Each structure stands twice: as structure tokens, then as C-alpha cells.
Structure 1
Amino acid sequence: MAAMLTLLVKGLNRPVKRNKVLSHLLYLQETHLKHTDHARLRRNWVGQIFHSKFNGKARGAAILINKNTPFIVSHTIADPNGRYIVVTGSLFNTSLILANVYAPNWNDSTFFNDFLNSLPQINTHQLILGGDMNTVMDPVLDRSSDKRLPLPKSSLVLQSYLQTY
């Protein structure tokens, strides 16, 4: 049996916090690690690490795969703006795309169009998509207000994609 956990960590620069987080996970958003700081993740993690690279202590998405998980990597795509990481490969002879997203916190449908268009081989692979989409998919479930506001364009782009597949 395999399990997956996704966490919004809001920074991994403190060693105690980093050690606690690295004891049990796979997807991370908002790592706040500069490109040069990603070696900190490798110190305490035994397994595969994939991350998006960004110049400042902001954003960041990472996928960590435990050493006991027989995932075979074939390709990776890392967003230069630190917003997503996509890893293509196979697990138990099943072709997979692992994608982790930390979307902008404003209505940016261009981001979603670009990200979704970057996903490779979607017709031949199973997609595991995780992360922080920073958008509303269902106004009744995702908002505490009773106001009926129209869905943001970014939500419509994402919904359309998910309905297609």
C-alpha cells in the first residue's frame, strides 16, 4: 500500500522544521528555498528529490520520493519561476506523471494554461496532481461567504482541463 501527503510548509530554512517535515512526505509547496539552499533537503532525505528552482526565498515546489518506492524517472520539467515541478516515470509498470503546483495567489489563467500545456503524454500516463492551486473550484465548498461570485478565469481553465481527462 502506498500513501501520499501534500503539505504547505511556508519555508524550510530552519533545521528542526525541515527534519520534522522530511520524516514523512512526498509533495511540498512554498518551500521558500533559494536554488543554492536545496542541498538542505538532501541532507536528511534518503530517496529521490525533484524541485523547482527560483532565485529568491519565495515560492518553491518539490516532490520527494522515498527510497523504498520503486519509481523510475524518465523526464522532469521544473518551472524557472518556482511554481511547479513535473516528473514523468513509472511505478510498478504504470506510467505516471507526478505534478506539484504552487500557483500564483491571484487570478492568473495564463499560468494554468502554460502549466497544463507543459504536461507531457497525458493520454498515455496516469496523472497525480497535487499542490496549492490558489483558486476556487466549487464556490459552495471553497468559500465561507454566501455570496454567489462568478468563478475566476483560472478556475474555469482548470475545471475545463480536469473534465477533459
Structure 2
Amino acid sequence: MCKVITWNVKGLKSPQKRIKILRYLKCLGPDIVLLQETHLVEADFLRMQKLWVGRALGSSAVDGRSGVLTLIHKSFACKILSHEADEAGRLSLVHLEHNGNSYSIYNIYAPNNDNNYFFASLADTVQHSAGPFTILGGDLNSVVDPLLDRKSTLPSQLPTRSSDKINYGKVSHLSTYEMEVISEVDGWLPVVTHKKREYNRILIAQLKH
């Protein structure tokens, strides 16, 4: 088993913030870290790799927004087999080998507009690229109960859950790979103002053939 942490960091362009984030992560002792909304580009990945002392693989931000980065600690004995990244800064896929087993690690930063195309494409990617052991982590920008967590007075604006395409395999995209959901909760994050609350959907699942 390995220890994995996922975190939407809301930007890492500040050198001071990068140091603070990495210092805190090192205290937690993870093997793998999945960071979202980094705002970093490929030129920044090497800087992060030197500070982290391990591997840093990601997808570059577009127009100073989005961006994901996967950090693998040097103490985690593994062989990187391949790395794939999209062009929108929303998906990084690392294939690696650890203790004789192959792992596929998806770092996901979904659009905040419940984008049906994104989740359909992601489901298709999982179907064709997932290994025997698969980890999906990140910020899905989705919630467990849309009617409760994203209220609207207009019926036409009530949100859907496009992320169900990847979470439950309700469509044909996941006919080969089905996901067994172990736990699913909304994590509420503290914010400065009491007039606003932020959420993130936490999905604990395993992929089965």
C-alpha cells in the first residue's frame, strides 16, 4: 500500500507558497501527491521536482489557470513506465510499477461547469488506459447531492452530475471497467467569509475489471 494525498492548492506561482505547501506535505509523509489548480507550466515542474526531491509530472496550466501536478517521493520505490497529459491542464496520467504490480494514477481537475464532454472523455480514457491497479484522485468540482449543495430557484438551472459517468459507470463508456464506490462524501472547507462555503467531492473507490 502507498499513501496518497490529493489537494487543490489554488495556485503555486508564488515561490513562498510552493515552499510552504511542500514543507507541509513532507510533514504528512505521502508517497504520492496529486495537486490541482497549480497554475504552473512545464518550466516550473523542474523547480517543484528539486524542492520535492522526487519526481514531478504534470499537465501545464492554460492562460494562468488550471494545471495539475503529480509528485512521487524518492523513497517510494517504483519505476515510471510512462506519463500522459492533456493540453488543458486538467489531466495527468502516470503509469508506474511498484512491488511487481502495475499502477495507473490519474490526477484530475474537472471544469466547474459540470462538463459532460470532459467526464465522457475521462471515462473513455480510463477504459482504454487503466492498469490492473488504478488510482483516481483530484478535484471533480462535483458534489454528492446537487439539489442540496447547489441550490437554484430555476428548474432549468438545477445541476446534473456528469461526474457519474466516471463514478458509477452508468453509461457504456465504463462497460469494461466498473467502479466499486467504497465511500463518497462532501468535504466542507473553511473560508474567510461566513457568507460563502466551499466544497469538494471526495470519492474513495476501486476499479475492477
Matching of residue 29 in structure 1 with residue 43 in structure 2: no
Matching of residue 58 in structure 1 with residue 65 in structure 2: yes
Tell me the equivalent position of 1:152.
160
* One-letter code aligned to 1:104: P
Q: Which residue of the other structure, out of 173, 178, 184, is the alignment partner of 1:164?
A: 178
Matching of residue 38 in structure 1 with residue 38 in structure 2: no
Bigger relative CO (Cα 8 Å, ≥ 6 apart): 1
Unaligned runs of 5+ in 1: none
- How far did residue 116 of structure 1 move? 2.3
Matching of residue 91 in structure 1 with residue 109 in structure 2: no
Specify the SS of the correspondent of 1:12.
coil
Query: TM-score of the superposition, structure 2-length normalised?
Result: 0.68
Matching of residue 143 in structure 1 with residue 157 in structure 2: no
More strand by share: 2
Residues 34, 56 of structure 1: 8 Å contact kept: no
- How far did residue 121 of structure 1 move? 4.2
Matching of residue 11 in structure 1 with residue 19 in structure 2: no
Aligned residue-pair number = 163
1:34–1:89 Cα change, 3 Å: closer
- How far did residue 151 of structure 1 move? 6.1
* One-letter code aligned to 2:82: H
My pick for the range that moved more, 101-110 or 28-37, is 28-37
1:73–1:43 Cα change, 3 Å: closer
- How far did residue 150 of structure 1 move? 6.8
Residues 45, 57 of structure 2: 8 Å contact kept: no
- How far did residue 153 of structure 1 move? 4.4
1:107–1:41 Cα change, 3 Å: same
1:41 and 1:127 map into 2 onto residues whose CA distance is 25
Q: From the CA coordinates, give the structure whose radius of gyration is larger.
A: 2
* Percent of aligned pairs sharing the same letter: 31
Residues 45, 56 of structure 2: 8 Å contact kept: no
- How far did residue 42 of structure 1 move? 2.4
1:107 and 1:55 map into 2 onto residues whose CA distance is 19
- How far did residue 54 of structure 1 move? 3.3
Tell me the equivalent position of 2:75.
68
Residues 107, 135 of structure 1: 8 Å contact kept: yes
1:16 and 1:153 map into 2 onto residues whose CA distance is 37
Q: CA RMSD in A?
A: 2.8
2:94 and 2:142 map into 1 onto residues whose CA distance is 23
